[in-house]
Amino acid sequence: MNQDNSVGSPIPLACQDWANTKAAYRFLANPKVDEGDILGGHFAATRQRYDLTANSGASRPVFRNDGAPLFRLIAAQGSDQSSPTIPG
């Protein structure tokens, strides 16, 4: 499967062929598959990267993927804002 350019795409489009699509649906239908287990590694790695950045003293943005219109918010506040207010 090639997920690189297919993030957010429907499963058949992301999987590219029927064999991969069928495998993905079987995987997701398995009662032993838990969303927390699948995403746990991602969350742990994200937390580790955040902690490393926060502890380094560097000023880096943290992006949230929760539907907040972050880029429109920054543009509305103007580019002279060094630390825009992020909702939530």
pLDDT digits (tens, 9 = 90+) for 39-84: 888 888 888 887 887 777 666 666 666 655 545 544 555 555 455 4
CB within 8 Å of 2: residues ≥ 6 apart: 14, 16
Verdict on whether the full-model pTM lies above 0.75 = no
Tell me the domain boundaries of the chain.
1-33, 34-76
In this model, does residue 88 exceed pLDDT 50? no
The number of beta carbons lying within 10 Å of the beta carbon of residue 79 is 8
Per residue in 8-44, pLDDT (tens digit) is 568 888 888 999 999 999 998 999 988 888 888 888 8
